Amino acid sequence: MEKIVITGMGTVNPLGLTVEESWRNAINGVSGVGPITLFDSTSLNVHFAAEVKNFEPEKYMDAKEARRRDRFEQLGVAAAKDALADSGLELTEENAGRIGVLVSSAIGGIKSLSDAVITNHMEGPRRVSPFLIPMLMPNGAAGMIAIDNQIKGPCFSVASACASGADGIGAAFLMLKAGMIDAAVTGATEMTICSVGVAAFDRVGAMSRRNDDYSMTPQPFDKNRDGLVMGEGAAILVLEREAHAKKRGANILAELAGYGATADAFHVTAPHETGAGGAAAMRMALESAQANDDELGYINAHGTGTPLNDQSETRAIKAAFGERAYHIPISSTKSMTGHMMGATGALEAIFCVQAVREGILPPTIHYQTPDPECDLDYIPNQAREKKITLAISNAFGFGGHNAVLAIRKYS
C-alpha cells in the first residue's frame, strides 16, 4: 500500500514562530510559560500561561482580514502559509480539487464569542460584529486557509477536544490512503487564553495555580505535579501520497505511517484509570504502521501534568507494551509549550518528525521528584541523542477521545 509522506511543516507556538526555532528551543529545554499578557487576569486564580510571543498577523495576511479573524484563525493561517511554503507544493486550478484542508480546533473562537456576549449585554445587539459567526466557528481556520489558497478539495475541522489535531491529521491520512485526494493541509490551531477560557479550565480543576513559582510548572509525570498550563498556537503539516510527492520532486521529511483512535466511554473529563483506551489506540497506530514493538523508539506523551492524566497514560503505555514499556524513551513537550488544547497533537507530531530526522529526543523539563505511579523513562530535563526509526504521538481529550499518530523515518 502506498506510503503517506510529510512534505511541509509550519508552526507558531509558545516556543517560536517557525519549526526550526521551536525545535531548537524544545531540545534545549526552554519553557514558553510566562505571565499572561493577552488580557488582565487579576480577578482569576491563574495568572500565567504559554503565549505565542511577538506574533504579528499582518506578516501573514492583509491587516483588514486580520481584524476580521479570531486569533486562533490568525495563528492557523500563519502556520499553514509556512507549511505550504516549506512543502513547495504548487497550488493551481487543475489540482485545487485534489487537495484537502483538514485543520481542526477543539473550541474555536472562544475569545470572540465571550467579547461579543459582553458587547451585546453592555451596548446592545447592533454593536455585535457581523463577522462574529466566522470568527467563532471551529472550522473557521480551515475555511480561511482554503479561501486564501483557493484549495477546493474536502475542507473541514475535527472537534475531539485535545485529540482534535491528531484526529484531523488521522482523517487526512485515511482520505489519502483511500485515494480521495493527493495532498492535504492538516493540523490544528487553538487560542483559549482569555478570561472565560482560563476560568472554565480552572473550574474543572485541571490547571496549576502556582502563580508565585510558575517557572517550575507544568511538571508532567513528577510526583508534585499540580495541573496543566494553558497554551496557544497552531501546527500544520502538508501530507501527500508518496507517488504524488516524488513526481514533483518534493523534499520528503518523514512518513506518516499509522493512526489509531478509540474512546474510553467512561467520563466526560477524567481518563479511564486503567488507560485501556489509550493502550488500544497505541496498538492500533502500530498495527496501521505495520510496525513491531521493537521498532518503536520514542513516545511523545500527552503528558498534561495533571495527576489523573499522567498516571492513566503511564498505565496505558504499560498495557500497550508490557515489559518493553520500561525501555521506551518518553517525554512530554507540554512541559515547555503548555497545553495547546486541540493544537497540541499537531505540534507534537512535528516534534516526532524532527526526532526521527535528527536523532534527538526532547526532554520533559521540571522533572524533579519521581512518582511511584509514574515509573517509566520520561527523558528528564535534558534532551537525549538516540537514532530512531519510529515515534508515536499520543493525544487524549476530554470526553474520552484517544488519538495516536505513528511517524517513521523516511527511506
**Active site positions, annotated:** 162, 302, 339
The span from the CA of 402 to the CA of 208, in Å, is 23
Hey, what's the cell of 37? 499578557
Contact partners, residue 393, CB within 8 Å, separation at least 6: 166, 299, 300, 345, 348, 349, 351, 352, 404, 405, 407
Within 115-161, strands assigned E span 155-156
CB burial of residue 68 (10 Å; 0-12, 13-18, 19+): middle
Angle at 25 between CA 349 and CA 340, to 5 degrees: 45
CA 389 from centre of chain: 21
The span from the CA of 184 to the CA of 76, in Å, is 15
Q: Kindly report the backbone phi and psi dihedral angles of residue 24, in degrees, each rounded to the nearest multiple of 5, phi listed first.
A: -60, -40
Contact predicate 46/209, CB 8 Å? yes
Contact predicate 276/319, CB 8 Å? yes
Contact partners, residue 181, CB within 8 Å, separation at least 6: 98, 99, 100, 153, 154, 172, 175
Task: Give bridge partners of residue 391 from the DSSP assignment.
Answer: 298, 407
List, edge to edge, every strand of the sheet that includes 4-12. 155-156, 99-104, 183-190, 233-241, 4-12, 254-263, 401-408, 390-397, 296-300, 330-331
